[in-house]
């Protein structure tokens, strides 16, 4: 795993290699083992690299790496899990092929030279972001893996085209401008992350997953990103052809999982796995142990708050599998000590509070290993999120009610005295009460008003429903969540929810969180469930074999039960989070009050202070629970303070 950065434009900065070195130094934690800079003064291009040595620890893996013919120069972040297969294919086509070492970087460079950019990308099994310079044609190619496991930012700033693994690398360039994009801020307030292709800065974009882009003319001609693996088509074709018998599908999934996990166990450094005790991480750990000659290393973070702790389940799983298990119980004070590190870690506003335990478990694992496998991706592929069940159940009822009647009901509920009704509910038997009724009633009113299932689900996964009322001067852009075109092949809400999450929430929240948390401590995180062959298989599985008997991940669980007893696994799903709701009323109250100060908000000029202060006062008093919304504001405020510093 590594970090890449570079720029194309002002030759003065290219000659001075310290500019590229400084850009790479900003992302040193992504690659503490080695550094390299290469420049083409005539072209005005500089490439920089930081290396975390995992495959071929020798100097033969040093980057930037140039092809023997000197036409191509590559900087690469990631791992190519089928690079040995690609080497065999290349050797079969050219028996005289000679290798300098056994790094996957060298394999990738040779493949790009032989098959071209698109031909190579279609053959790769891996996680990656890379930049390839073609000196003959004077083209710079940028590319990103299929699901967006590795990040890549790019865009023009001043007279230069800049790119890098993280925004902090771009910000180290002398021509960096870094003007905040208020429209992107509005998107952040809706989603708790800035969705692709936007970034928090004007003129700087995220390259979408499964895309590559060609840049020409001294960085002034930036082409449209080109898709080389279309998840939408894969999903539609898979759903249309979804057939199979449970035992045969279970056997096929077992084989695919074994191969995906096995490929991600290749490393020349110590390796382990995150283990929460849930279905996904347990499946990965079980298949690792099944293919290992010695106990694999597993890592778990535990919390003393009962509702947030899964460590005891992870320990029971580890004992059954016979892993070399390490667990660390974290106090609230230790968890909260991570918060000041988050703005520098994430580079742009990001407010999924599970970023805290993700960093802690990465920090724990890095004390023992350099690579750790993660169980992310199972929810989006095999219908695992609890919100899927809730949204589907609610929409099945709402969808039967005519839209005009729903809107009339929404108006009535919106004006109902929610707090008074919640108090009155206290006189009902416990089984008839609805928890947090005052919070839920306004949300129900909003749900009733939506005319179709896709706009309903957009509401369901949104934080701020009207972010333009919070962000001054913003006009919220449209995203895939409010576009229905191109989804006619996914007529069911269940399939649409999984697809939309795989296109948005998975790369921009889950994978961003894992990448930044792990790379902050120089740990490589690998995600076997996102092997593209597994994704293509999952879309060919009938939804009834994913969601069955009121439970998700049915087929995945059938595989897991071959390795772990059902009795050890079947329990309610628990999120990987921290009690932000209570912390904001307690130990974080003073910190939050300072960041949410009305005078401060007004002077900074990004937020409308009135609704934010109202949420804060209602939350502190216990009148309403606004912690998710407030955490969005607080993480932006903390990030903004870090930018000023």
Calculate the alpha carbon distances from 164 to 25, 118, 248, 343, 484 in Å: 12, 21, 44, 18, 32
CA–CA distance, 536 with 335 (Å, rounded to integer): 38
Any domain includes 594:
yes
Distance CA 576, CA 310 (A): 8
What is the structure's pLDDT at 637?
98
Considering the domain architecture, whether residues 505 and 443 belong to the same structural domain is answered as no
How far lies 234's CA from each of 376, 391, 399, 532, 535, in Å? 20, 24, 28, 10, 9
The alpha helices in 273-327, defined as continuous H runs, are 279-290, 311-321
- As to burial, measured by CB atoms within 10 angstroms (0-12 exposed, 13-18 middle, 19+ buried), residue 641 is middle
Q: What is the pLDDT of residue 571?
A: 73
What whole-number distance in Å separates Cα of residue 199 and Cα of residue 206? 6
Q: What is the mean pLDDT of the chain?
A: 92
Instruction: Specify whether the CB–CB gap between 225 and 241 falls below 8 A.
Output: no
Nearest to 509 by CA among 604, 635, 390: 635
- CA dihedral sign, ordered 198, 204, 209, 215: positive
Residues marked active site are found at 2
The domain total for the chain is 4
Give the pLDDT confidence of 115-129 residue by residue, as tens digits: 999 999 999 999 999
* 377 and 328 in a common domain: yes
**pLDDT score of 246 more than 70:** yes
Q: Tell me, yes or no, whether 396 and 271 share the same domain.
A: no
List Cα–Cα distances, 582 to 440, 573, 578, 588, 634, in angstroms: 19, 21, 9, 9, 15
The reply to whether 472 and 515 lie within a common domain is no
Residues 35 and 167 in one domain: yes
Please report whether residue 294 resides in a domain: yes
Task: Say whether both 414 and 454 belong to one domain.
Answer: yes
Q: Cα separation of 31 and 61, whole Å?
A: 13
Q: Which residues pair with 144 in a beta bridge?
A: 129
Q: Which of 443, 469, 489 is the last residue of a domain?
A: 489
Confidence band of 412 (pLDDT split at 50, 70, 90): confident
Measure the CA–CA gap between 408 and 536, rounded to whole angstroms: 43
For residues 386-409, average pLDDT: 83
Q: Is residue 494 part of a domain?
A: no
Q: Residue 477: is its pLDDT beyond 90?
A: yes
Report the C-alpha gap between 584 and 277 in whole angstroms: 28
Q: What percent of the chain has pLDDT over 90?
A: 79
- Give the pLDDT band (50/70/90) at residue 572: low
CATH number of the domain within which 57 lies: 3.60.20.10
Q: Which pLDDT belongs to residue 545?
A: 96
Q: Is residue 574 part of a domain?
A: no
Does residue 157 lie within any of the structural domains?
Answer: yes
**Residue 295 carries which DSSP code?**
P
For 375, residues 6+ apart whose C-beta sits below 8 A from its C-beta are 274, 276, 278, 279, 280, 281, 282, 283, 284, 527, 529
Q: Is 502 helix (H, G, I), strand (E, B) or coil?
A: helix
pLDDT given for residue 269 in this prediction: 95
C-alpha to C-alpha distance for 568 and 561, rounded to whole angstroms: 9
Cis amide prior to 603 (ω within 30 degrees): no
CB 193 within 8 A of CB 351: yes
Pull the structure tokens for residue 46. 């500089």
Instruction: Give me the residues paired with residue 204 across strands.
Output: 155
Task: Say if residue 422 is in the same domain as residue 539.
Answer: no
- The answer to whether residues 460 and 513 belong to one domain is no
Task: Note the pLDDT of residue 432.
Answer: 47
pTM of the model: 0.93
Q: What is the pLDDT of residue 349?
A: 97
C-alpha closest to that of 493 among 564, 398, 396: 396
* pLDDT of 406 strictly over 80: no
Following DSSP, what letter does each residue of 138-184 receive, concatenated?
Answer: TEEEEEE-SS--S--EEEEETTEEEEESSHHHHHTSTT----B-HHH
pLDDT at 433 over 60: no
- Please tell me the predicted confidence (pLDDT) of residue 427: 46
Which are the contacts of 404, defined by CB distance < 8 A and separation ≥ 6?
Answer: none
- For residue 584, how many C-alpha atoms fall within 13 Å in the half-sphere facing its CB? 29
Coil, strand or helix at 204: strand
Cβ neighbours of residue 435 closer than 8 Å, sequence gap 6 or more: none
Q: Are residues 334 and 426 in the same domain?
A: no
Residue 432 shares a structural domain with residue 516: no
| Residue 10, token pair as written in the block | 């002002």
Residue 418 domain flag: yes
Please, is 221 exposed, middle or buried when counting C-beta atoms within 10 Å of its C-beta (0-12, 13-18, 19+)? exposed
Residue 125 near residue 263 (C-beta atoms within 8 A): yes
Measured distance CA(123)–CA(535) in Å, rounded = 15
Greater confidence, 367 or 444?
A: 367
434: pLDDT confidence band, cut at 50, 70 and 90? low
| pLDDT recorded at residue 407 | 74
Last residue of a domain, one of 435, 455, 489: 489
Residue numbers of the domain that contains 606: 580-644
Q: Report if residue 196 sits inside a domain.
A: yes
Assess if residue 10 is contained within a domain: yes
Same domain, 562 and 437: no
Question: Do residue 218 and residue 255 come from a single domain?
Answer: no
Asked which of 466, 489, 512 is the last residue of a domain, the reply is: 489
């Amino acid at each position: 795993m590594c970090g890449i950065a570079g720029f194309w434009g002002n030759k003065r900065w290219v000659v001075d290699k310290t500019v590229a070195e400084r850009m790479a130094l900003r992302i040193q934690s992504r690659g503490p083992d080695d550094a390299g800079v290469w420049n083409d003064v005539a072209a005005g291009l500089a490439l920089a690299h930081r290396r975390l040595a995992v495959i071929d620890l020798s100097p033969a893996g040093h980057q930037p790496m140039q092809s023997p013919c000197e036409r191509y120069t590559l900087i690469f972040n990631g791992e190519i899990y089928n690079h040995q297969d690609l080497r065999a294919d290349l050797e079969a086509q050219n028996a005289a092929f000679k290798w300098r070492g056994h790094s996957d970087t060298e394999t990738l460079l040779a493949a790009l030279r032989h098959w071209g950019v698109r031909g190579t990308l279609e053959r790769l099994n891996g996680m990656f972001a890379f930049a390839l310079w073609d000196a003959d044609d004077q083209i710079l190619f940028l590319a990103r893996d299929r699901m967006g496991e590795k990040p890549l930012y790019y865009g023009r700033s001043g007279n230069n085209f800049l790119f890098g693994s993280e925004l902090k690398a771009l910000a180290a360039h002398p021509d960096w401008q870094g003007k905040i994009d208020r429209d992107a801020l509005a998107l952040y307030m809706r989603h708790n992350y800035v969705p692709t292709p936007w970034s928090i800065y004007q003129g700087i974009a995220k390259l979408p997953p499964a895309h590559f882009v060609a840049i020409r003319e001294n960085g002034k001609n930036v082409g449209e990103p080109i898709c080389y693996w279309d998840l939408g088509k894969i999903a539609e074709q898979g759903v249309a052809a979804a057939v199979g018998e449970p035992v045969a599908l279970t056997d096929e999934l077992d084989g695919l999982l074994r191969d995906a996990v096995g490929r991600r166990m290749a490393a020349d450094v110590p390796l382990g796995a995150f283990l929460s005790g849930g279905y996904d991480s347990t499946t990965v750990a079980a298949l690792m142990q099944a293919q290992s000659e010695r106990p694999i290393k597993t890592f778990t973070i535990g919390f003393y708050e009962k509702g947030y702790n899964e460590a005891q389940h992870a320990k029971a799983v580890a004992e059954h599998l016979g892993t070399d298990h390490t667990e660390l119980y974290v106090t609230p004070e230790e968890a909260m000590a991570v918060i000041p590190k988050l703005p520098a870690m994430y580079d742009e506003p990001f407010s999924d509070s599970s970023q805290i335990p993700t960093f802690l478990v990465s920090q724990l694992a890095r004390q023992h290993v350099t690579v750790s496998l993660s169980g992310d991706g199972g929810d989006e592929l095999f219908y695992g999120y609890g919100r899927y069940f809730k949204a589907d159940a609610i929409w099945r009822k709402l969808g039967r009610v005519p839209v005009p009647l729903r809107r009339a009901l929404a108006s009535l509920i919106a004006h109902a005295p929610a707090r008074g009704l919640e108090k009155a509910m206290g006189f009902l038997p416990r089984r008839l009460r609805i928890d947090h009724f005052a919070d839920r009633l306004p949300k129900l009113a909003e749900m009733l008003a939506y005319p179709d299932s896709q706009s309903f689900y957009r509401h369901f996964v949104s934080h701020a429903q009207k972010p333009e009322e919070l962000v001054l001067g913003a006009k919220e852009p449209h995203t895939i969540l409010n576009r229905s075109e191109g989804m006619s092949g996914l007529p069911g809400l269940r399939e649409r929810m999984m697809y939309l999450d795989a296109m948005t929430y998975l790369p921009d929240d889950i994978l961003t969180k894992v990448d930044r948390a792990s790379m902050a401590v120089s740990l490589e995180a690998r995600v076997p469930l996102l092997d593209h062959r597994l994704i293509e298989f999952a879309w060919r599985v009938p939804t009834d074999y994913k969601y069955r008997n009121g439970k998700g991940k049915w087929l995945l669980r059938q595989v897991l039960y071959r390795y772990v007893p059902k009795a050890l696994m079947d329990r309610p799903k628990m999120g990987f989070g921290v009690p932000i709701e209570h912390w904001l009323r307690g130990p974080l109250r003073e910190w939050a009050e300072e960041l949410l100060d009305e005078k401060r908000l007004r002077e900074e000029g990004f937020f409308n202070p009135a609704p934010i202060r109202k949420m804060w006062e209602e939350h502190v008093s216990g009148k309403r629970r606004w912690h998710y919304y407030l955490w969005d504001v607080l993480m932006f405020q903390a990030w903004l303070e870090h930018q000023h510093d």
